Copies of this chain bind each other. A is one copy, B any other.
Amino acid sequence: MLTDRQLLILQIIIDDFIQYAQPVGSRSLSKKESITFSSATIRNEMADLEELGLIEKTHTSSGRVPSEKGYRYYVDHLLSPKKLTKKEIMAIRSIFAEKIYELETLVQKSAQILSELTSYTAIVLGPKVSENRLKRLQIVPINEDKAVAIFVTNTGHVENKMITFPEKIDMSELEKIVNILNEKLAGVPLSELKDKIYKEIANILRKHIRNYDILLKLITGTLNVGHEKIYFGGKTNILSQPEFRDVSQIQTFLDFIEQEDELYDLLKTNPSGITVKIGTENKISAMENCSLITATYSIGEKQIGTVAVLGPKRMDYSRVISLLKFFSKDLSQVLTKLYQG
């Protein structure tokens, strides 16, 4: 258990380092007004904190720098929520104020504004399409062996995929199937479509339509939606951070970002609420100098997406957390109002 004085010192070290990105020494610490004891005392306390693994030296005679464990402790125990400024609140509200009906645009703007407010990189995992409900299925023939299957959902999202017919297809039968599917499947979440089709609809079709199985297979084959789209804001913001001085590091980092699938794994599995992952806690080498703070957003009670801020380990946790909390709550409210029910 840490003493109050140790907590104070740890807090100041981390706060200072977050602000200036420079190792913090005992002498400069002793000049802070909240500190009433001497630099020698601080040195002693620092030695203890170092032994506990909360801070580190970069070389024998350098000041101290927070360790990963130190950041973790800081986030878990020392963080005081920062109140948002009017300006910040206004900036966020401004997105929701203008009536944007395209979900995509809304999400893209969100990433934009979050990156501007934080000067870090904002990442938004788009709404889970699989949670959307089917509004209409349409199949449009392109030529004799190709067609496009189009799924429109309750949020106005349009998903489409090419179908290639293995043999000549009777268009009128295809049309019949589509009609039946529309009738029976309206309002069903996309994730349950396949299941529902085979459990409840296949039987009906069997009675009415020859070759129903081939056609059905083609349609359900288009239902494997890829992963949700990832939206970025300020992709290069993080490069201005002093920790990204050398080019090779930049390159691995950007490659990781561009790659998207690892990033997607990082974002998709999130419990609701705020999550903070520091450095190696992300389990990805390109991220070992970064921290990722995520929040989830939802329509009604249904959690449908994630919004995140990616910055250096030395990021302003307190501020980013407050921003994300506020932001995700607002976003959820707006979405719920727009698409609930």
A218 within 8 A of B: no
Q: Which residues of B contact A262 (CB under 8 A)?
A: none
- Stretch in A173-181, A238-246, A300-308 with 4+ CB within 8 Å of B: A238-246
Q: Which of B135, B146, B239 contacts A156 (CB 8 A)?
A: B146
A313 within 8 A of B: no
A275 within 8 A of B: no
Q: Which residues of B contact A254 (CB under 8 A)?
A: 235-236, 239, 254
From A239, which residue of chain B is reached at the shortest CB distance? B251
Question: In the bound complex, how far is the Cα of B246 from the Cα of A245, in angstroms?
Answer: 9
Question: In the bound complex, how far is the Cα of B151 from the Cα of A258, in angstroms?
Answer: 30
- Chain A 145-176 near chain B by CB (<8 Å), digits 1 or 0: 01010101011101011101000000000000
From A246, which residue of chain B is reached at the shortest CB distance? B247
Which of A150, A156, A235, A236 is most buried by chain B, counting CB atoms within 10 A of its CB? A156
Question: In the bound complex, how far is the Cα of B240 from the Cα of A160, in angstroms?
Answer: 38
Question: In the bound complex, how far is the Cα of B244 from the Cα of A206, in angstroms?
Answer: 64
What class of interface size applies to chain A in its complex with B?
20 to 34
Question: In the bound complex, how far is the Cα of B101 from the Cα of A161, in angstroms?
Answer: 10
Question: In the bound complex, how far is the Cα of B161 from the Cα of A152, in angstroms?
Answer: 11
A142 within 8 A of B: yes
Residues of chain A in range 61-103 having any CB-CB distance to chain B below 8 Å? 101-102
A204 within 8 A of B: no
A52 within 8 A of B: no
Beyond A101-B162, A236-B255, A236-B258, 16 additional pairs, beta carbon < 8 A:
A101-B146, A135-B142, A138-B140, A140-B152, A142-B154, A146-B156, A148-B152, A148-B156, A150-B152, A150-B158, A235-B258, A236-B251, A239-B250, A247-B247, A247-B250, A250-B250
10 sampled A-B residue pairs with Cβ under 8 A: A136-B140, A138-B138, A142-B152, A148-B156, A148-B158, A235-B258, A236-B254, A239-B247, A250-B250, A254-B254
